[in-house]
Amino acid sequence: MTATTEAAAPRTYAAHAQPLWRRVLVTREASIIGLLLAVIAVAMATVPNFDSPLTVTYLLRETAPILLIALPMTLIIITAEIDLSVASVLGLASVVTGLGVQAGWPLPVAMVVAVLVGAMAGAINGALVTVVGLPSLAVTIGTLALFRGIAVGLLGTTAISDFPETWTDLARTNIPGTPVPVVIIAFAVLALGFAVLLHFTPFGRSLYAIGLNKEAAAFSGIDVGRSKFWLFVMSGTVAGFAGVYFTLLYNNARGDNAIGMELQIIAAVLLGGVSIFGGRGALHGVIAGVLLIGTLGSALRLAGVTSDIINVLTGLLLVLSVVSASALSWVHQRRVAALGRRRGRSPGTSS
């Protein structure tokens, strides 16, 4: 490589190496959205009743908690951390809502307290990860059991199901004139907020840097610990809100609500193109990923497929998506390495 002389014309740089259509269409997110549309099209054509409004309503009602919690989960996984305690926080918030109502609080007060309990649970996770410096995988496996234990302990095996009808109806109401439940409005607002935060703010930029190279992020003046702490608080808060919704939707506050949901959420996030190693992923892919799993399940159920077969198919889809992602990145790395060799900078290789 020779030095450019000063007389050389100033360099011009293209903003992108590839044309717009390639950057938009040849992505992981685009392929998941494409797959989702294909599943919808095939199901509409072949599965009886799939196109009925009721199907849409039930599908969105049931996937709403997953959609909600997947938003902060995406940000957490992009920083190469994970929060396995979300379903337990959901259960805890559900129990708190129920106990509040049982104690005679007005429901809105109980709801706010439940969301705050969720935020506190998130803060505990965040503090253990960032202040104490433990890996989030270990911390949140621990708090998964801890929060669930508290939830079940508080309420025992009983359930509370005497919630005011105005509120339980609200959880089941659709936006007038559509088959879409009103909870989707809350989701849309949150999704917009998280999308802007992740993709259009300096904070969002720093999350990708943290996930890809924590050390370089710290050397760039990014407060790695503080950023992660607030992500865990967000995750707890949203899980708390999802807990309140879950309670009202099923008119049922129980300690074991939504057991195992954390794995469905993480699976959908990964299917949506977020790398478990951090630093890669986008929110629209995640939303498509959640809807893809939900739609596929719903269509198969309507077609009379048993739930174990549905599980097998969903699992297969996930495995395939992970395999294809690592296959793609392997190809990419080979290309980068080949480029590096051509530039003659490959230390360690002998002649």
How far apart, in whole angstroms, are the C-alpha atoms of residue 114 and residue 3?
Answer: 63
64 binds another protein (CB under 8 A): no
Q: In Å, what is the CA distance from 211 to each residue of 75, 220, 228, 289?
A: 10, 14, 10, 21
Going by the DSSP 8-state scheme, the letter that residue 334 receives in this structure is H
How far apart, in whole angstroms, are the C-alpha atoms of residue 37 and residue 30?
Answer: 11
In this chain, which stretch among 73-81, 106-114, 149-157, 200-208 interacts with another protein, using CB under 8 A? 200-208
Q: Output Rg (C-alpha) for the chain, integer angstroms.
A: 23
Q: Which is nearer to another protein, 104 or 344 (CB)?
A: 344
* Interface residue with another protein, options 103, 132, 156, 345 (CB under 8 A): 345
17 binds another protein (CB under 8 A): yes
Going by the DSSP 8-state scheme, the letter that residue 8 receives in this structure is S
Tokens of 310: 């549905």
CA 311 to chain centre: 20
Give the dihedral sign, CA 262/263/269/274. positive
20 binds another protein (CB under 8 A): no
Tokens of 290: 């959640």
- Cβ 23 to another protein shortest distance, Å: 8
334 binds another protein (CB under 8 A): no
* Interface residue with another protein, options 173, 178, 201, 307 (CB under 8 A): 201
Q: In Å, what is the CA distance from 153 to each residue of 13, 105, 148, 255, 291?
A: 62, 21, 8, 8, 34
How far apart, in whole angstroms, are the C-alpha atoms of residue 49 and residue 111?
Answer: 36
- Cβ 347 to another protein shortest distance, Å: 4
- Cβ 223 to another protein shortest distance, Å: 7
* Interface residue with another protein, options 55, 63, 136, 206 (CB under 8 A): 206
Instruction: State the first-to-last Cα distance of the chain, in angstroms, to the nearest integer.
Output: 19
Site track for another protein across 275-304, x = CB under 8 A: ----x-------------------------
194 binds another protein (CB under 8 A): no
339 binds another protein (CB under 8 A): yes
- Cβ 213 to another protein shortest distance, Å: 5
Number of residues that bind another protein (CB under 8 A): 45
157 binds another protein (CB under 8 A): no
How far apart, in whole angstroms, are the C-alpha atoms of residue 167 and residue 249?
Answer: 9
Which amino acid, one-letter code, is at 234?
Answer: M
21 binds another protein (CB under 8 A): no
13 binds another protein (CB under 8 A): yes
In this chain, which stretch among 11-19, 56-64, 163-171, 237-245 interacts with another protein, using CB under 8 A? 11-19
Tokens of 287: 């939303």
Site track for another protein across 211-250, x = CB under 8 A: -xx-xxxxxxxxx---------------------------
- Whether 239 contacts 118, CB under 8 Å: yes
Tokens of 302: 């309507």
209 binds another protein (CB under 8 A): yes
How far apart, in whole angstroms, are the C-alpha atoms of residue 132 and residue 275?
Answer: 25
12 binds another protein (CB under 8 A): yes
Q: Which is nearer to another protein, 16 or 176 (CB)?
A: 16
Q: Give the residues lining the site for another protein (CB under 8 A).
A: 1-4, 8, 10-17, 196, 200-202, 204-206, 208-209, 212-213, 215-223, 279, 336, 339-340, 343-348, 350-351
